[in-house]
Amino acid sequence: MMGGGGILWLLIVGALVVIPFWKLLPRFGIPNWVAIFAIFPVVALILLWVMAFKDDGLRG
């Protein structure tokens, strides 16, 4: 079982994953709240691919 320290560790790691996605996703036209799902590694990987290949309109 995880003690209180384990839960705290999970919250810190979760925040370290979610916060950058929370700031970046709106730049790609994706709502902020989707960042919460980035705590799941497969979803984070999908979001990275979407952001990498989404046409942001800045390139000529």
Asked if the structure places residue 8 within a domain, the reply is yes
In the chain, how many domains are there?
Answer: 1
Q: How does 23-47 read in b/e, with b if 16+ C-beta sit within 10 Å?
A: eebeeeebeeeebeebeeeeebeeb
In the prediction, which pLDDT does 54 show?
Answer: 87
Q: Residue 26: which of 6, 52, 51 has the closest Cα? A: 51
59 is a domain residue: no
What is the chain's mean pLDDT, rounded?
87
Range of the domain at 9: 4-53
Q: Is residue 35 part of a domain?
A: yes
- Given a cut of 80, whether residue 6 has pLDDT beyond it is yes
